[in-house]
Amino acid sequence: MSDPRPGQSSIVGVVAYLNAAISNARLYAADHPQVRRYLERAYTELAQCLRAKSEITFLTVDQDLVVDNQPLAATSAHVTQFIQLLARGAVERITFTAGLKIAELAQLVADLSADGQTTVRSTPRIQLGKVQVRVTPSAAALQDIPPEMQDRIAAMGPVRDYSLDQLKELYHNLKASRIPPVSGFEGIVQSFVMGMTGNVPPLQILAHLKSSDEYTFTHAVNVCILTMAQAEALGIGGRKLHDIGIAASLHDAGKVFVPEEILNKPGKLTQEEWVHMRSHTVRGARQILRIEGIPKVAFIGALEHHIRYDGSGYPSLGKWRPSLVSQMIAIADAFDAMRSQRPYQGPKPDAQIVEILRKDSGTAFNPLLVENFLRLLDIDDAR
């Protein structure tokens, strides 16, 4: 068995043996001796990990497996296969807790190996997070940013001014149906990647609003920074981080179609105005599709960022769990909106925002992602 990361050998072992148990259960039957053997090994490895830590969470992010905020090197075929098996069972998150019984793990193996759209069940010490089964964005190849590109970005000058003006222009082009090339968005994201390598706390590099009609662009820049910081904290890097940044920078692209007087209205919106406002998701997503070479996750982020973790919100797509990238954008979006001076509300203090994020954790926001987000912010805890 390959061991791509020192210190993760037990986790890699858990994945490898679980994968072997599930694959064999699919091939033979869940009670086959071969399945039992792999199950016992997986259990031994997992029990060992759970002695060091009382809880271990496996999270699938696109085609990566993140274990306790550390990406598991995707060099192993076991990891790739395991991600596919989880996707097949519509499972995006598994949390194992100390005290786990082998019977619980056996049930998980049986459920994940069953044919058809069966329900994969949680147990007292295996808690599952489920996603709707649907088309997910294609996995962009993992590749790092080429050095010549980094040099070009470094020569672009101050990150914020460049990004803000550039983004404003790109958004305006989208409105005029002068569909901008994807390279424009790439440049913005690259500049943040460069900024992030300096280990600066994300709050310190957020853009500040100069005038209310600049809000959409300032906000897009900030949501981009805050979403990329979250993704990076989950261990995502390279091409995937880059695509997530593009998605976040474009999440509100559809706002260019909403009249300024609605966007900046001081009072409550009428029903008709709300219809306009809400249309920015679908309209933005539709426009984004026209950008050649745009990562699919950008379309998904624009469409889903107002769908809450519990499936409510808009647009209404039935019982729909937004993708993890959209869930990260939603947190960054709410955070930046609450911190900003708007015609209809003043900025909220950080402690109050933290309190709201925690209160809405589990309904509006993914609790794991809220904790990940709060960890990376350098602000006082509201608790």
Which segment (54-62, 89-97, 333-341, 362-370) binds Fe ion by CB under 5 A? Answer: 333-341
Q: Which of 333, 340, 353, 357 binds Fe ion (CB under 5 A)?
A: 333
Closest approach of Fe ion to the CB of residue 147, in Å:
33
Phi, psi at 319, each rounded to 5°: -80, 90
Closest approach of Fe ion to the CB of residue 323, in Å:
15
Closest approach of Fe ion to the CB of residue 333, in Å:
4
Using CB under 5 A as the binding criterion, the count of chain residues that bind Fe ion stands at: 2
Tallying the residues shown for the chain, one arrives at 383
Q: Which is nearer to Fe ion, 12 or 325 (CB)?
A: 325
Residue 79 near residue 11 (C-beta atoms within 8 A): no
- How far is Cα 20 from Cα 371, in angstroms, rounded to an integer? 32
Nearest residue to 262 via CA among 330, 329, 215: 215
- How far is Cα 276 from Cα 20, in angstroms, rounded to an integer? 51
Q: Which is nearer to Fe ion, 222 or 366 (CB)?
A: 222
- How far is Cα 329 from Cα 278, in angstroms, rounded to an integer? 16
Q: Which is nearer to Fe ion, 111 or 333 (CB)?
A: 333
Closest approach of Fe ion to the CB of residue 250, in Å:
10
Closest approach of Fe ion to the CB of residue 252, in Å:
4
Place of tokens 């909106």: 337
- How far is Cα 212 from Cα 194, in angstroms, rounded to an integer? 28
Which segment (70-78, 141-149, 311-319, 332-340) binds Fe ion by CB under 5 A? Answer: 332-340
Q: Kindly tell me the sign of the dihedral angle through the C-alpha atoms of 299, 301, 302, 303.
A: positive
Classify residue 123 by its DSSP letter: B
Q: Which is nearer to Fe ion, 111 or 252 (CB)?
A: 252
Closest approach of Fe ion to the CB of residue 117, in Å:
32
Question: Mask: binding to Fe ion, 242-281, rule CB under 5 A, as x and -?
Answer: ----------x-----------------------------
Which segment (96-104, 111-119, 258-266, 326-334) binds Fe ion by CB under 5 A? Answer: 326-334
Classify residue 294 by its DSSP letter: -
Residue 319 near residue 311 (C-beta atoms within 8 A): yes
Applying CB under 5 A, the residues found at the interface with Fe ion are 252, 333
